Amino acid sequence: MERCGKGGLINLAKETKFYSNCGANPEAEKPTAAFVISLIAGVLILVGGIGYAFLGAICGGLVGMVSPGAGALVFLYMSLGLICGIVVIIGAVMINSAEPSKVKTGSVLVLVFSIISLFSGGGFYIGLILGLVGGILGLVWKP
């Protein structure tokens, strides 16, 4: 007989019963609002980062004709939105797990990289705000 969640076997005479929380809704234990809001923030930051990276490639190429090192620096600065968007999405996926330690770690990732994304447009600034809200919701979530 499989065990699921917190439960136990009870043997009464010849009748064995299994009591557990297997019938409970597993989605009720996850911080769904924090996950959805953080995921939307990550997508917005990623889309904004793609635009900034494209712009950075053009500007970096133009600046690179004058000074090769400066062109790479412009491109790296503009690619910051891509990196932040990917990490915020990873943090949102970690928030979706029901493990409290992963939820806290994912929430901190979402908060930190949402703030860092401010330097690259912050996902049209809506991504920044949604990332802050989603990260805070994940931090205050109680299982």
Indicate the domain borders of the chain. Answer: 31-140
Neighbours of 121 (CB within 10 A): 22
Confidence of residue 8 (pLDDT cuts 50, 70, 90): low
pLDDT surpasses 70 at 23: no
Alpha helices in the chain (DSSP H): 32-66, 68-78, 80-96, 100-116, 126-140
Confidence of residue 131 (pLDDT cuts 50, 70, 90): very high
Confidence at residue 49, expressed as pLDDT on a 0 to 100 scale? 92
Q: Write the DSSP symbol of residue 14.
A: T
Higher-confidence position of 4 and 82: 82
pLDDT surpasses 70 at 3: no
Confidence of residue 7 (pLDDT cuts 50, 70, 90): low
